Every structure is written in structure tokens, then in C-alpha cells.
Amino acid sequence: MVSPAQFKSLFLQDTPFLDVRAEIECEKGSFPHATNIPLLTTDERHQVGSCYKKHGQEAAIELGHQLVGGKTREERIEQWSNLAKSTPSLHLFCWRGGLRSRLTQEALADVGLNIPLIEGGYKALRNFLLEQLKQLSETGRFIIIGGKTGSAKTPLVNNLSSGVDLEHFANHRGSTFGRRVCGPPSQVNFENALIIDLIKKHESHPDKPIFLEDESRRVGSCAIPQDFFQTMKNAPIAIVEVPIEQRIEHILKEYVQQSVEEYLVHFGESGFNEYQTDILASLGRIKKKLGGERHQQLDKALSEAIDQQRKNGNTDAYRPVIQRLLIEYYDPMYNYQMSKLGERIIFTGSDDEVLDWASRQ
């Protein structure tokens, strides 16, 4: 039995887990190195739960043995065994470290495989991470990297040994146009992955601040936990200042060239159509702030730029669209936010200067 005192080392070492909860439980949240092979599938779990409510625990357990018996039991043991044999240091959990995980552990022991069981199950591991986030929010040292849209703040954060990339864990680029093809993780999976990385960076660089990109609370559809977000909002900030030409080129590369490539890989021949649908929908979400006439102009120009790229791969027509969005939409919002930062700003410089300064903190 693995006690809570060992949980931090499990996460620091990227320990693999066998998650035997039902699929529907796993979809709500699990851990980055967990593999879900249920003891009871979602439908089977529902049947057992209904039986428990009507006839009690003993009848529910009996039904569970009936549902997962014979050939079904053999197939599941084989799946667990194959994972255990191919995955050194595998650990096992269910929801609370109860009957499901004990039955799985016993079944694996019967075929000569001894897999450690997590005391308290998934719930205990999750509560451990939430407590770690609370402690870091209260005692950790953080510095925020800010700057106008297109200043390549995310690559800068990733170039710092104690940088934590919020957008990576949210699978979103953090702006109106930041949607990625594969979609977001669940809120719980976002939080779990983020907290694990925060723990790792704090443990490996205890004397350095953790660097995070300046974000709104929502990164795509994922929300930064409220207490931690408040910590970010109180942290000192370093501002990256980049010429607009460089910002345009960065956005062109990341939001157009790389993004279109993702869509083509994912959707094949229909990739351009899917990209156009999503990017114009994103533009539509800020129509009210742009105003009807300006939105119509940008919609037309963006559609023409996509058509040109589709025909001959040329992306030049995007540049004036990007420039207008920066100057007329993003920069005014940024300037307003800057006016409220006050004494939080502790350094301002080019991307190289900020990287050099941050590396010495």
C-alpha cells in the first residue's frame, strides 16, 4: 500500500498508473501517466450501482462478479497483465482505494504480478495535488512574463528552466484565435497536469521563481484555479517589448502556418475548410467589439488570405489582417491593462533582454 507520504515522489518520477475506474470517471479527470483499463465499464458500473440502491451491498457485489466473470474476467486480467509487464513501476488505483482496486490487485497477484496499491485511490492523489497547489499559491515565488499579443511570450517561458506553460496544458494558444485541432482537456486534467509541473519546477529549482505567461483566468475552455490565479495577479511582471513587424511574423508562423498544418494533418483534404470555418468563427466572436463594418472588412480579407494560401501556399495576404487586428483590437486592450499594472512591473526589455534577466533571477 502506497501512503500519501510517497505521493510527491510518484509524481516527480512520472510514475505510471493503472486506473481501474469506469471510463466515465476517467474522462472527468485522471493523471498524465495513467492508463484506464476498467474493472467495471461505465455500463456495468451503472448496473451494479442500481443493484446496490435496490438490494444492498451483498447483491451488488454478486452482480459485479457475474458481470466480470468467465471470459470477460480473463480478458481484463490479460489487459492488466500486458500493461504491468510492459510498464515498470506501475501503480494501481480506483476511486478511493476500495473494492475495485483490491480485486484487481488480487487478480494480478494470482498471475504472479505484484502491483502496489494507492492508499485512498484517485481521490487521495487528487486531494494531494490540490493541497500542493494551495501551498505553492501561498508560499511560492512567481514572476509573470507579459507583453503585447505576438511577442512570443510562450517560447520565452519555455526557454526558462523554471517556466510553466499554461497554454500547453490547456491545449490552447490563449487568445480568441487560439483553438487547437485536438480540443481541450477536461478541467480536472488541466489542473492535474499543471499542478504536477508546478511541483516539478519548484522541486528542481527551489531557489528560482516560477515563470508564467500573463493570461486571463480562462485559457480556452480551461480555467486557472481561482486562488492560484489571484497569486498570479499579485506577482511581479516582466514586460517583453517587440517591434510590430516581429509580432506579425510570429503570429503568421504560429497561428497560420503551423495551425493550418495541424488542420491538414488532422482533417486531410478538408483541412483548409475546417480551418476557415474555425478562424472566421473566432473573428465572429469579437464582432461586437470590432464593430459591424470593420468585422465585415476583416472577414472578407481573411477569407481571401485563406483562399490564396489554399491555392498556392502564399501567406502574404494574412499580414495586413494581422496588423489591423493588433493595432485596432489587441493593442488598445493591452495598453488599458498596462495602465493598471503600476508597481508590479519590475523589468522591461526585448525578448533577449527579458530572457537574460529572467535566467539570472
> Which of the residues are catalytic?
94
What distance in Å separates the CA atoms of residue 245 and residue 188, rounded to the nearest whole number?
38
HEC per residue, 250-270: HHHHHHHHHHHHHHHHHHHHH
* 106 grid coordinates: 488480487
Q: Is 233 left (phi over 0), alpha (psi -120 to 50) or beta?
A: alpha
Name residue 141's amino acid: R
What's the N-to-C CA distance of the chain in angstroms?
A: 41
Facing residues of 93 across strands? 19
Query: Pick from 123, 131, 68, 129: which is nearest to 93 by CA?
Result: 123
Query: What are the start-end ranges of the E strands in 148-232?
Result: 163-164, 210-213, 218-219, 222-223
Longest dimension (CA), the chain: 71
